[in-house]
Amino acid sequence: MIRSPLLRLLLFPLAWLYWLCVRCRSTAYERGWCKTHRLRTPVISVGNLTVGGTGKTPCVAYLAQLLRDAGHEVAILSRGYKRTSKGRVEVSNGREILCSPQEAGDEPYLLARVCPGVRVIVDQDRYAAGRWLEEHASVSVFLLDDGYQHLRLARAVNVLLVDATDPLQTAQMVPFGRLREPLAALRRADVVIVTRADQPYDHAGLNALLKAHSFAGGEAYQSWYEITGLRRLDADETRSLSALAEQPVAAFCGIANPHQFFHTVTRFAPQIVLRRDFADHHAYTHTELADVVAAARAAGAALLLTTEKDAVKLPSEFLAAPGLPLYALQIAFVCAQEERLKERLWQALPARDPK
């Protein structure tokens, strides 16, 4: 957040222009001046109002698994942020992963890895990608990853994620804060899911905000991330979280909200001897990782710990010989009102026979 009064004053014209462009764009779609395209197959969009860090990827994986287990043929449409490839890339056909993390983008690749039986495709034009899949595969529901602002594609359900640790009540628009668009955009939501709701937050304030902006979806569902274990990246094994309590740990990550990762690690690892954070979607080099390992050894670390999202970006030569045992923290998305959430989603979708 920008606190300098002088800098805020200098940026005000740019901030006002950004606000105006966002409002004009949303108004153009609301009034039909810009065309919204509709696929034959229902679309469930998952997104947020803020820049990064609300937990979209775990939520998309969770919804994909719910839908798959209910008998749906699920495909995830993603932009593939910061991928090296161009155009349309089929990341997974539901049976195998068809490209590298660099070609897919780290989040689509991770979704392909943790959601077997689910197709994943990246394309800047997600409507065109959906049309292509409808012609070439059997799909009964699309999940639109990070789609809240992708107004060009119509959706049957608009899921909005709100981070309990980053209250919207006090949020400001970019560049003064993290809001992508004004709070009036809350009215587009059909479902609101509060992530990290296991941490203290202002329930009444959020409910009042939703009511003030005409959210008609009823309750806001509560969700959080459950830590399930450790996956060793340089060997085929998993371990319980007790391993973190037994040894000194070096932790590193390159995600939008590194504070939450390190906060989680401290719950299980009382001996964090080194922490390093990089920019979100950071492409690690072997030199950077060698520096992390050297610093970890100097600090007396017995193992390295990172996130599943970072794990897919680590170079293969580093994974083959990291220098210290290397683990990714495994998490699961949990929704307290799962049955009611499923009922809401099923209302918008054709019935399927569970597999």
Domains in the chain, CATH or no CATH each = 39-219+337-347 (3.40.50.300), 227-332 (3.40.50)
If you write DSSP's letter for every residue of 202-228 in order, what string do you get? -HHHHHHHHHHTT--S-SEEEEEEEEE
Q: In this structure, what token pair is assigned to residue 166? A: 């980053």
pTM to 2 decimal places: 0.93
* The pLDDT value given to residue 122: 98
If you write DSSP's letter for every residue of 120-186 in order, what string do you get? EEE-S-HHHHHHHHHHHS--SEEEEET-TT-TTB--SEEEEEEETTS-GGG--BTTTSSBSS-GGGG
Query: Which DSSP letter does residue 37 get?
Result: B
β-bridge partners, 153:
37
What string of pLDDT tens digits covers the 355 residues of the chain? 666 777 777 787 888 898 899 999 999 999 999 999 999 999 999 999 998 777 899 999 999 999 999 999 999 999 998 899 999 999 999 999 999 999 999 999 999 999 999 999 999 999 999 999 999 999 999 999 999 999 999 999 999 999 998 888 888 888 888 899 999 999 999 999 999 999 999 999 998 999 888 887 777 999 999 999 999 998 888 988 888 888 999 999 999 889 889 988 998 888 999 999 999 989 999 999 999 999 999 999 999 999 999 999 999 899 999 999 999 999 999 999 999 999 999 999 887 766 5
* The pLDDT value given to residue 99: 96
Residue 91's H or E segment, with its range, is strand 89-93
